[in-house]
Every structure is written in structure tokens, then in C-alpha cells.
Structure 1
């Protein structure tokens, strides 16, 4: 993480990285607590999308190659780690394929190994927005990571059973949870294979293909304790975009009116509307 911190400091100094400015509120329902943040960088991200269409060629790809000032380090032969130019949380990292692969393509052994190497070394939460309907903002395949303390996924998990694919009966949306054992993190290769196997078990429980081209939309979350898989049916609830972090209790909005809407409707109903009913 020292290299990431040095890259962050340098990128902020030269303006390549947008600083985070947030306001935070909390919503509670059925004993679950959701963080709701208004993030100024989301508005900047919208502006950047418009600029991409109007000032650059329509097929512009920010990851091919990534900005040098945002590039942290290579990660194996197939990936590199870059800073999220529009971070929603401090130390928000992207794990990007060096060559173009579509965000709706199946995750490969190299993808699982890359994500597992970061989670295994640093803990925190790894996640993947499987396509636009799952909240992905770029078509180039990129996994993501945020540090420990920035998510609350543990409070959504049922009691874990080693090797079993199960769910939390208190949650109204379809999902699967597979425990990842401490022994699985002994090395990057074994960790990547253990995560890949957990993903396959989660897909089987949900009746979802694990290697279709394209894959159906889904959100994937990974900690050192468990893998969580959530199939998706739509990108937004009204005008609020929902990505993987929502299933870890973190929602992001562009203005205070959206917070009022989430509070009135209830976060459990919001997530059920964009997921798949049980």
C-alpha cells in the first residue's frame, strides 16, 4: 500500500486524481445499517462521460493505456493496478486487464488470481460490477478494491459453513454466499483457485452460468472470509445507480433529494428492485 499512497499523493498534486468530498447520512431498516454518501466526484464523473462523447472519439478507453500518473504497479502478466480517477472511497483501486477484455466477458483464472492477490495481501473488499446493468461505468474489464473499514459486508452475511453455498434468509433478494477458508490464502495461486471455485459454487446455487459470453449481469464481492454473488436485473432504482458496494451497505447519490427517496422507499426494497427476487 505504500506504493499506492505515493501514487495517490503525486496524482493529487498534479491534478490527475480528483479529490474526494463527501457528506454522509445513515439509513437503518430491519436491523441493517446503510451508509449513504453524497460524493462530488460522481458529478465530475458524469461530466467526464459527456466530454468523452463530445471531445473525444466515442470508443475512447481510459484503461488502454491507463494514465501514467494513476498507474500504481503491474499485477502479474495480465493486469495492472491503477487509481480510480473518480474515487468514492479513499485508496479505491482498480485492477485492470492490460489488453481489452469486455466487462461482460467471463472472469478468467487470471482475473480471480489478480483479485485474490490484493485481498489476500491487504484484506479489505474486492468487487466486480459484471456489466453496465450491474453498475459498471466502463466496458474495459476492471475489478475493484477498497480497504478494510470502508465496507460493511459482514453484517449482511449468514453464519458461514466451509464449502457450502448458502444465503441469508433475512435478505429479500437472490444471492449466494460461499465461505473462503483461512488456509485458502496461503499463496496467490491457491487463493485464486479457491476464489474461482467459490464463484462456481455460488453460480450453481443461483442457476447462473459461470462462463457465458456474455455473462448475465451480476455483482461479486470478496473478503478474506467469503464470496458473495448477486444477480442483477436493472442498473438503477429511479435515478440512483446501484453497484456492488450497495450489497455491502454503501449507497452513493448525487444530491440530497435522492437520499430522501431512498429513506422513503427503504433500502431493502431498493436493492430488491434492482436484484432478482428470491
Structure 2
């Protein structure tokens, strides 16, 4: 039996904590407008939240402090945001700046770097949260941002989790949108993605082996694309590239990143803004803060497709990497 186990009533704990924190002003919730764009054959959510442009910033450094260590929101989170422990190594805390209701975070209890490769306990704790949501509406989507091009914003290691039912808020019941991670093998994405099938009863060590296999295939494709020289792809320590990882109850996915975002331009070439993407791209979602960006992308989904192409490797690189892997098995 695993010693890392999320509370069985985690969905209720998260919902109650979110509702209380929102009512008491302990979190900032940013409602969005939503539309579905078609990126190739992929139904892709585009959400617009103008209030995010005025998102509150973290506390400034204390000039009286002896050191100016960056603020770590996971070092000692407010009791109103902390939801539960997940084994001795992790805890669940609400996202203080939520676009999706009940968005929560799985953080390491001890400080560990976001840019280092995940450990078996990280993956086991994540799957335990997903397991707790089994049978609860549509389940849970988890994602991890690592590196300067991934959309990562905090150095303290954390994995973000979104109730899929809440990701559908605002969509028509007949919408064709679903979580992209579970359909990556069926759809040609504008970016290279690497996947493995998983299941809810996997142990942390087996999950970690699958994750490292994906990471190594992705690094090899990234090195070919960028012309980087990688002597050996380690299974621990600092990651050599930026990437996003996503996990659902059936799929583990990894996307190498070469840019955080791309410029959105008008028909006459004027720059309207910058579309930045994090690991939610593996759910098939994107977020804009500017009405100019919102209107431009709604008018022409080609801007979204170009952004998805620009942040990663060409789709053919994932095919080439899979073929290369098969050759090594022969």
C-alpha cells in the first residue's frame, strides 16, 4: 500500500475551502468569458479575463530584512488557503489567483526546486489526488510547468490541479471540448507531445519511470531541434530544457518548450499583445488578458495555431522520436 494518500473527501474539502476563502476575500477569483476555437482538428478553449491585467502583486521585500529572499507563497501559506496534507511530503493549498473555480496546488512540504526533475513522491502524490476525484463529476487535470519557457512563476516545486467540471464552466452542454491530454494520440497537434498510458493503481516508482522515459524522448527531440548537445539525460537534478507535464487518470504527457508565448498581431502587422501559454495547453485551453487579443483570436484562429506552433517543437519531432524509440527495441 502506498504511504502517500490524499484524503478521500478531497473534492469536498477543496470546494468548501474555495467557497469560504472567496467569501472572506482570502483569494482572488477572476471570472472569464469563453469561446471554442478550432486549432487544426482540436477544439481549443480560449478564455478572456480583463481583470487579470490588474492582478495584485506579491508583497514587496521588507527593507528591514537582513536578506531579500523572494517571497515563497508555499513556505507558510495562510490557514484559510491550506486544505490538507498528502502524505509527509506534500500538501494541498488553494491557488490564490484563480481563473478556474476550485483550482488548487500540490506543493512540496520541504523546499524543492521547480526546475529540478520530479521525484517518485511528486508523481505518486499527484495521482493520489486524481484518484480522490475518481467518480466525482469529470475528474481532475494536473499540470506542471518547469523552466523559463514553460509559464512557471514560482521556484518552490508545485503541481497545479483543476477539476475538469469547473474547466467546462461557461461552455454549452453540447460543446465538443474535452481534455486534450487524453486525446493526444488521436489528434495531430501543432506541437510535439509525448505520452504514455497510466492507470490509477500505479505506484510512484512506475509513474516515475514512465515520466523519465517521456522526458528522455522529449530531450532528444529538443536537442535535435535546437542543435543542443546533451551528453547524458539524467533522471534527477536540473532539467536541461523547459517543458510542461500533464496527468489525467489515464495519460501522462510531456511537451518540450522553446518559448513561453508569441506575439499576436493585427492584419496590418501591429502587435496587439503576447499570448503566453503554460501547462494548461495540454488541456486544450489558453487565456488572454487583453480585449484586443481576445477579438483578434476569435476573428482568426490561425493566430492560436501559430502560437501553439511557436512555443514547442514541430509535431513531426514527436513522431520521429517515437520511431527512433521503436528502432532501439528491435
Is the contact between residue 94 and residue 144 of structure 1 (CA under 8 Å) also seen in structure 2? Answer: yes
Deviation at 1:78, TM superposition (A): 1.0
> Which whole-Å CA distance do the structure 2 matches of 1:155 and 1:200 have between them?
19
Q: Which residue of 2 aligns with 1:240?
A: 275
1:127 and 2:149 matched: no
Q: Which residue of 2 aligns with 1:267?
A: 304
Q: Kindly report which structure 2 residues correspond to 1:36-51, keeping only aligned pairs within 5 A, or say none.
A: 36-40=46-50, 42-45=52-55, 47-49=56-58, 51=59
Deviation at 1:54, TM superposition (A): 8.9
CA separation of 1:196/1:11 partners in 2, compared to 1, >3 Å: closer, same or farther? same
1:35 and 2:53 matched: no
Q: Which residue of 2 aligns with 1:104?
A: 115
Is the contact between residue 48 and residue 287 of structure 2 (CA under 8 Å) also seen in structure 1? Answer: yes
Q: Which residue of 2 aligns with 1:200?
A: 212
1:258 and 2:274 matched: no
> Which whole-Å CA distance do the structure 2 matches of 1:54 and 1:42 have between them?
25
> Which whole-Å CA distance do the structure 2 matches of 1:24 and 1:133 have between them?
25
> Which whole-Å CA distance do the structure 2 matches of 1:268 and 1:43 have between them?
23
1:173 and 2:191 matched: yes
CA separation of 1:175/1:59 partners in 2, compared to 1, >3 Å: closer, same or farther? same
Is the contact between residue 44 and residue 86 of structure 1 (CA under 8 Å) also seen in structure 2? Answer: no
> Which whole-Å CA distance do the structure 1 matches of 2:151 and 2:124 have between them?
23
Q: Name which of 185, 198, 202 aligns with 1:158.
A: 185
> Which whole-Å CA distance do the structure 2 matches of 1:58 and 1:241 have between them?
27
1:9 and 2:36 matched: no
Is the contact between residue 50 and residue 290 of structure 2 (CA under 8 Å) also seen in structure 1? Answer: no
Q: Residues 165-204 of structure 1: CA distance to partner in whole angstroms, max 9, x if unpaired? A: xxx5x223221011114xxx23xxx343332222122123
Report the secondary structure of 1:240's partner residue. strand
Report the secondary structure of 2:72's partner residue. coil
What is the number of equivalent residue pairs in this alignment?
Answer: 261
Deviation at 1:86, TM superposition (A): 0.5
> Which whole-Å CA distance do the structure 1 matches of 2:308 and 2:39 have between them?
12
CA separation of 1:59/1:229 partners in 2, compared to 1, >3 Å: closer, same or farther? same
Q: Residues 183-234 of structure 1: CA distance to partner in whole angstroms, max 9, x if unpaired? A: xx23xxx343332222122123324546353212100011111111000011
Is the contact between residue 195 and residue 254 of structure 2 (CA under 8 Å) also seen in structure 1? Answer: yes
Q: Residues 80-120 of structure 1: CA distance to partner in whole angstroms, max 9, x if unpaired? A: 10000001211111001112111101101111111111112
Is the contact between residue 18 and residue 101 of structure 2 (CA under 8 Å) also seen in structure 1? Answer: no
Pair member with larger Rg: 2
Is the contact between residue 117 and residue 192 of structure 1 (CA under 8 Å) also seen in structure 2? Answer: no
TM-score calculated relative to the size of structure 1 = 0.85
Deviation at 1:7, TM superposition (A): 1.2
Report the secondary structure of 2:129's partner residue. helix
> Which whole-Å CA distance do the structure 1 matches of 2:218 and 2:36 have between them?
31
Give the unaligned 5+ runs of structure 2: 1-10, 134-138, 168-177, 221-232, 264-273, 318-330
CA separation of 1:210/1:124 partners in 2, compared to 1, >3 Å: closer, same or farther? farther
Say which structure is richer in helix.
1
Q: Which residue of 2 aligns with 1:163?
A: none
CA RMSD in angstroms comes to: 2.3
> Which whole-Å CA distance do the structure 1 matches of 2:145 and 2:181 have between them?
19
